[in-house]
């Protein structure tokens, strides 16, 4: 079994820290939300734990407004690959490239020529109608 075949160990405490920091929440704020017996120091120890008690993890997830599974399964490497493949300049982001490299299914010059020919035809029809009306007046 190679190292790539082995399941990656998730550090739940670090993931709590990452989500907390991404949301701009300080340790003191998280501690006060968890209850009176929580302090900034206790949050720091919580974030150092590899596995967190499921009841505490559930409370923290509710406070951070993220699913428990997000904290349990968050992987830095996967997130980085996802970001790298989905930013606007990425060659893998086909929808972004599509908007900048739009290739119409018709030739725009052909459409202009069609419009010009239609306008010429309408002009000729109007001239013929005016000549007919002018001929009737002469009689």
Give tens-digit pLDDT for 105-126: 778 788 889 999 999 999 999 9
First-to-last C-alpha distance (Å) of the chain: 104
Instruction: Kindly state the DSSP code that residue 28 receives in the 8-state scheme.
Output: H
Both tokens of 113, joined, read 């020529």
pLDDT at position 93, please? 47
pLDDT at position 129, please? 94
pLDDT at position 6, please? 56
Burial (CB < 10 A; 0-12, 13-18, 19+), residue 115, is: exposed
Give tens-digit pLDDT for 73-92: 887 777 777 677 776 555 55
Architecture of domain 12-92: Orthogonal Bundle (1.10)
Give tens-digit pLDDT for 6-47: 566 788 999 999 999 988 999 999 999 999 999 999 999 999
What's the mean pLDDT in 47-58?
93
């Amino acid at each position: 079994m190679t190292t790539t075949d082995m399941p990656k160990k998730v550090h739940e405490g670090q993931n709590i820290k990452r989500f907390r920091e991404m949301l701009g929440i300080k340790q003191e704020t998280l501690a006060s939300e968890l209850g009176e017996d929580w302090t900034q120091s206790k949050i720091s120890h919580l974030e150092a734990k590899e596995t967190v008690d499921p009841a505490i993890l559930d409370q923290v997830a509710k406070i951070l407004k993220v699913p428990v599974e997000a904290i349990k399964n968050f992987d830095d490497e996967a997130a980085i690959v996802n970001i790298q493949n989905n930013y606007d300049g990425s060659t893998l982001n086909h929808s972004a490239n599509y908007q900048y490299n739009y290739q119409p299914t018709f030739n725009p010059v052909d459409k202009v020529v069609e419009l010009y020919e239609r306008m010429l035809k309408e002009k000729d029809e109007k001239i013929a109608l005016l000549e007919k009306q002018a001929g009737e007046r002469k009689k």
